[in-house]
C-alpha cells in the first residue's frame, strides 16, 4: 500500500470514528498531500528520508505547532496558535513525517482518563463486555486512541507521571517514555518541568523505536537536554562488554518489585504479569524479586511535586499577551485588582484549578518544609531504590550508591496500571462517586520511573480468560523499566512481550 493510500485511510478514520481523539484533525486536503506523494516517490526510488518518511504522526495538543492550534485542552488557550514549532515537530518533519493533527488530552496533561478537556472526554476505541464506553487513560488519551483506531501511523504524547504509558495500557498500544533529558522539551508546554518527557505511542515497539532514534538528539534550546558529551559517555558505558552482552549473549536478570504486588491489583492484571514473567523465564531469563521500599510514598510525593511545579508554570496564563480573555472588564470593578482574575477563573478547568491550589499551598512558606521539601526527599529515595537494584550504574549519579548486597538486575517488569480501563461513565458521571484521588491511584506504577527519570515502556499482552467466553481475552499493559540511559534495552524487552497471548 502506498503511503498516500495509507494516509487517506488514516484521515478517513479520523473523520469516521467519534472517539473525540482530535481537537484539530488534519484537513482532508492540504499541502501535506504533496509531501506524502513526494515521500512515496522517494520510497519507490529506494531513498526514503527515514523510516517514517511520509508517515502521519499525531501530536498531543500540548506540543507546539506553528501550522495548527495548540490548545492544551484548555479554555485559556482554546484559540491559541504557537508562533513556533517544538523541536520534536521540526525533527519529525525533517525526517519526512507529516503532523496528523492535534490530539485531545487532559487539560495541560493533568488527568488519568483524558476526561479533563475543554473539548470533551476522549473515548477508548475498545468497549467492555457489556458495550460500555471505557476510559482511554490519560493524559495522552487522544494520541493513544488515534493509534489504536487507525487514525495515524504513530503519535507523540507527553509523560509526566505515566501519561503515555497508562493510555497505552488502556488502549492496547505500545507507549514509551524515554529517559528524562534525551528528547527535547523545547515547545512542549510545561506541566511539571522536572518530570515532563515526550513519549511515543505506536502499534509496535519497532515503530516507537524508529521515532525515538530520530528524536534522541541534543537540543541547545532545552536547558535540560543532555549534552552531546554526556550522551556519548553513556553510550560508551553501555558498550562495555558486561552491559553490551545483555540479551545478546547472556540472559537477562529480570527484577520483580515486590512492593508492586498491591491489594488493589485486579486478578486479570496480576495474571497478565505472572504469565509475562513465566514467558520470559521460558525464554531463558531469570526472575528475581527485588525491593523498592520508597515506592509506597512515591505517589504522594508525585502529587506534591507535580502540582507545585504546575502552579508555578501555569501562572503565565493571564490572557494579557496571548490566550483567551473573558468578555468585559476583568477586575471585579476594583481599580487596584488584577487584570486577569476572571480570565484565569473561567479559562481553567476544575482539575487544573485543584492542582494549582494544591501546588500553591505546598509551596507556601508555612507548608514548604512539610510538603515540597519532604516530597523532594522521597524523590531522592525513589531514585536510590532503583540505583540499588540495577546492575548498571546510573550514569549521572554524582556519588555511586552503596549497594546493600541486594540482587542486581538488568530490567524491571511490572504492570503499567493496577486494573483494566474503567468505564468512562464511572470516572465522569456526576453520580459516579469517584473522587479525584481515585484517578490518582491509576498512576501508582508509572510514577516511580517518572520521579527517577528512568526509561519505561508499556506493551500490551493478552490473557485468555478461562472463566470468560470472550474470545478477545483481556488486554493488559505490562511495563518494562530500565536504568537511566538504558532506553534501547527497555524497548528490546518490551518487544519480547509485545502482543503476546497467554
Partner 1 sequence: MLRPWPSSGAVRALTRTVHRPLWIRPPNVYFTTVTPSHHATSADHIPLRKQLKQEAKSLKAQKKQRKKSEEASRQEWELTVGVEIHAQLNAGSKLFSRAPTSASETPNSNVALFDLAFPGSQPEFQAATLLPALRAATALNCDIQPVSRFDRKHYFYQDQPSGYQITQYYEPFARNGWVDLYDYDGIAPEDGSTIRIDIKQVQLEQDTAKSQEYPPSTQLLDFNRVSHPLIEIITMPQIHTPATAAACVRKLQAILQACGAVTTGMEMGGLRADVNVSVRRRGDAPGAYEYDGISGLGQHTEIKNLSSFKAVEDAIVAEKNRQIAVLESGGVVEGETRGWTIGSTETRRLRGKEGAVDYRYMPDPDLPPLVIGEDLVSLINDNLPTLPDSLVQTLRAGYGLSIEDAKPLIELDDGARLEYYRDVVDILRSLYTDQDDQTQAALARVAGNWVLHELGGLLTKADRPWDEEIVPARSLADLIDHLQRKLITGPTAKQVLAAVFEGDRRPIPQLLEEDNLLLRPLSREEYLALAESAIAQNPQMVEQIRNKKQLGKLGWFVGQMMRTGEKGRVEAPKAEEVLRKLILGK
- Cβ closest to partner 1, residue 279 vs residue 338: 338
- Cβ closest to partner 1, residue 331 vs residue 470: 331
Which of 50, 74, 125, 139 is labelled catalytic? 139
Q: Does 312 participate in binding partner 1 (rule CB under 8 A)?
A: yes
Angle of helix 487-497 relative to helix 267-282, nearest 10 degrees, comes to: 100
- Cβ closest to partner 1, residue 34 vs residue 336: 336
Paired strand residues for 102? 24, 59
Question: Minimum distance from CB of 216 to partner 1 (Å)?
Answer: 18
Question: Minimum distance from CB of 186 to partner 1 (Å)?
Answer: 6
Among 329, 345, 350, 429, binds partner 1 (CB under 8 A): 329
**Cell 468497549 -> residue:** 127
Question: Minimum distance from CB of 194 to partner 1 (Å)?
Answer: 4
Q: Does 221 participate in binding partner 1 (rule CB under 8 A)?
A: yes
**Cell 538488568 -> residue:** 410
Which of 112, 114, 135, 163 is labelled catalytic? 163
Question: Minimum distance from CB of 370 to partner 1 (Å)?
Answer: 14
Q: Residue 389, exposed/middle/buried by CB under 10 A (0-12, 13-18, 19+)?
A: buried
Instruction: Determine the Cα–Cα distance for residues 439 and 141; give it in Å rounded to an integer.
Output: 14
Cα-based distances in Å from 131 to 125, 126, 128, 134: 11, 9, 5, 9
Q: Please enumerate in sequence order all residues whose Cβ is within 8 A of that of 478, keeping only pairs 6 or more positions apart, or say none.
A: 272, 273, 276, 413, 414, 415, 416, 458, 459, 460, 461, 497
163 is catalytic: yes
Q: Residue 294, exposed/middle/buried by CB under 10 A (0-12, 13-18, 19+)?
A: buried
139 is catalytic: yes
Among 119, 170, 340, 445, binds partner 1 (CB under 8 A): 340
**Cell 512542549 -> residue:** 188
Q: Got the DSSP string for 36-85?
A: HHHHHHHHHTT--SSTTTT-EEEEETTB--SSS---TT-STTTT---SS-
50 is catalytic: no
Instruction: Determine the Cα–Cα distance for residues 483 and 459; give it in Å rounded to an integer.
Output: 18
DSSP 471: S
Residues of span 249-308 touching partner 1 by CB under 8 A: 308
- Cβ closest to partner 1, residue 217 vs residue 462: 217
Cell for 259?
512492593
Q: Does 360 participate in binding partner 1 (rule CB under 8 A)?
A: yes
Q: Does 230 participate in binding partner 1 (rule CB under 8 A)?
A: no
Cell for 380?
531522592
- Cβ closest to partner 1, residue 187 vs residue 255: 187
Cell for 153?
501511523
Do residues 436 and 354 make contact, with C-beta atoms less than 8 angstroms apart? yes
Q: Does 462 participate in binding partner 1 (rule CB under 8 A)?
A: no
Question: Minimum distance from CB of 163 to partner 1 (Å)?
Answer: 16
Pairing of strands 253-257, 456-463: unpaired
Query: Per CB under 8 A, which region of 145-153, 221-229, 400-408, 448-456 contacts partner 1?
Result: 221-229
Do residues 461 and 500 make contact, with C-beta atoms less than 8 angstroms apart? yes
Among 335, 405, 430, 433, binds partner 1 (CB under 8 A): 335
Q: Residue 347: phi, psi to the nearest 5?
A: -80, -30
Cell for 223?
536547558
Query: Per CB under 8 A, which region of 365-373, 405-413, 424-432, 441-449 contacts partner 1?
Result: 365-373
- Cβ closest to partner 1, residue 35 vs residue 60: 60
Among 364, 370, 464, 470, binds partner 1 (CB under 8 A): 364
Instruction: Determine the Cα–Cα distance for residues 298 and 367; give it in Å rounded to an integer.
Output: 19
Residues of span 53-92 touching partner 1 by CB under 8 A: 63-64, 70, 72, 77, 80, 82-84, 86
Query: Per CB under 8 A, which region of 117-125, 130-138, 362-370, 393-401 contacts partner 1?
Result: 362-370
For residue 400, how many C-alpha atoms fall within 13 Å in the half-sphere facing its CB? 7
Do residues 359 and 291 make contact, with C-beta atoms less than 8 angstroms apart? no
Query: Per CB under 8 A, which region of 149-157, 239-247, 359-367, 398-406 contacts partner 1?
Result: 359-367
Query: Per CB under 8 A, which region of 31-39, 243-251, 332-340, 447-455 contacts partner 1?
Result: 332-340
Do residues 135 and 115 make contact, with C-beta atoms less than 8 angstroms apart? yes
- Cβ closest to partner 1, residue 4 vs residue 363: 363
Q: Does 345 participate in binding partner 1 (rule CB under 8 A)?
A: no
- Cβ closest to partner 1, residue 311 vs residue 483: 311
Binding map of partner 1 across residues 181-220, x = CB under 8 A, - = no contact: ----xxxxxx-xxx-------------------------x
- Which active-site residues does the annotation give? 60, 139, 163
* Positions in the binding site for partner 1 (CB under 8 A): 63-64, 70, 72, 77, 80, 82-84, 86, 185-190, 192-194, 220-224, 308-309, 311-312, 314-316, 318, 320-322, 329, 335, 338-340, 360, 363-365, 368, 372
Amino acid at each position: 500500500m502506498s503511503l498516500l493510500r495509507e494516509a487517506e485511510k488514516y484521515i478517513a478514520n479520523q473523520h469516521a470514528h467519534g472517539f473525540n481523539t482530535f481537537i484539530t484533525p488534519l484537513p482532508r486536503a492540504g499541502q501535506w498531500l504533496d509531501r506524502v506523494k513526494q515521500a512515496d516517490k522517494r520510497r519507490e526510488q529506494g531513498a526514503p528520508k527515514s523510516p517514517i518518511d511520509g508517515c502521519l504522526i499525531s501530536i498531543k495538543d500540548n506540543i507546539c505547532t506553528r501550522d495548527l492550534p495548540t490548545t492544551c485542552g484548555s479554555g485559556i488557550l482554546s484559540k491559541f496558535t504557537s508562533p513556533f514549532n517544538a523541536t520534536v515537530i521540526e525533527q519529525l518533519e525533517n525526517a519526512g513525517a507529516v503532523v496528523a493533527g492535534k490530539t485531545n488530552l487532559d487539560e495541560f496533561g493533568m488527568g488519568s482518563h483524558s476526561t479533563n478537556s475543554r473539548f470533551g472526554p476522549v473515548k477508548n476505541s475498545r468497549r467492555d463486555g457489556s458495550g460500555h464506553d471505557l476510559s482511554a487513560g490519560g493524559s495522552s488519551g487522544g494520541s493513544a486512541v488515534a493509534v489504536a483506531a487507525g487514525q495515524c501511523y504513530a503519535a507523540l504524547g507527553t509523560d509526566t507521571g505515566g501519561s503515555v504509558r497508562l493510555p497505552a495500557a488502556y488502549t492496547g498500544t505500545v507507549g514509551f517514555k524515554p529517559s528524562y533529558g534525551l528528547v527535547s522539551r523545547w515547545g512542549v508546554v510545561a506541566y511539571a518541568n522536572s518530570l515532563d518527557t515526550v513519549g511515543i505511542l505506536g502499534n509496535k515497539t519497532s515503530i516507537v523505536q524508529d521515532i525515538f532514534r530520530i528524536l534522541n538528539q541534543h537540543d541547545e534550546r532545552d536547558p535540560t537536554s543532555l549534552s552531546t558529551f554526556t550522551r556519548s559517555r553513556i553510550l560508551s558505558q553501555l558498550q562495555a562488554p558486561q552491559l553490551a552482552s545483555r540479551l545478546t549473549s547472556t540472559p537477562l536478570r529480570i527484577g520483580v518489585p515486590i512492593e508492586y504486588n498491591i491489594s488493589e491489583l485486579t486478578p486479570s492484571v496480576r495474571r497478565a504479569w505472572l504469565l509475562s514473567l513465566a514467558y520470559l523465564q521460558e525464554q531463558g531469563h531469570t526472575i528475581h524479586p527485588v525491593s523498592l521500599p520508597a515506592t509506597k510514598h512515591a505517589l504522594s510525593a508525585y502529587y506534591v511535586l507535580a502540582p507545585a511545579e504546575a502552579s508555578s508554570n501555569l501562572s503565565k496564563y493571564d490572557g494579557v499577551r496571548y490566550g483567551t480573555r473573558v468578555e468585559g472588564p476583568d477586575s471585579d470593578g476594583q481599580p487596584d485588582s488584577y487584570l486577569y482574575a476572571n480570565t484565569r477563573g473561567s479559562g481553567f478547568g476544575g482539575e487544573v484549578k485543584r492542582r494549582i491550589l494544591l501546588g500553591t499551598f505546598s509551596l507556601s512558606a508555612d507548608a514548604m518544609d512539610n510538603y515540597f521539601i519532604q516530597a523532594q526527599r522521597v524523590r531522592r529515595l525513589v531514585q536510590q531504590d532503583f540505583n540499588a537494584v540495577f546492575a548498571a550504574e546510573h550514569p549521572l549519579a554524582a556519588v555511586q550508591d552503596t549497594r546493600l548486597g541486594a540482587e542486581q538486575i538488568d530490567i524491571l517488569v511490572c504492570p503499567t496500571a493496577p486494573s483494566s480501563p474503567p468505564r468512562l461513565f464511572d470516572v465522569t458521571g456526576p453520580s459516579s462517586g469517584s473522587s479525584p484521588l481515585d484517578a490518582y491511584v491509576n498512576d501508582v506504577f508509572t510514577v516511580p520511573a517518572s520521579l527517577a527519570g528512568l526509561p519505561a515502556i508499556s506493551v500490551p499482552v493478552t490473557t485468555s480468560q478461562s472463566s470468560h467466553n470472550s474470545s478477545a481475552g483481556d488486554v493488559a499493559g505490562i511495563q518494562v523499566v530500565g536504568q537511566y540511559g538504558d532506553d534501547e534495552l527497555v524497548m528490546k524487552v518490551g518487544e519480547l512481550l509485545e502482543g503476546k497471548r497467554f
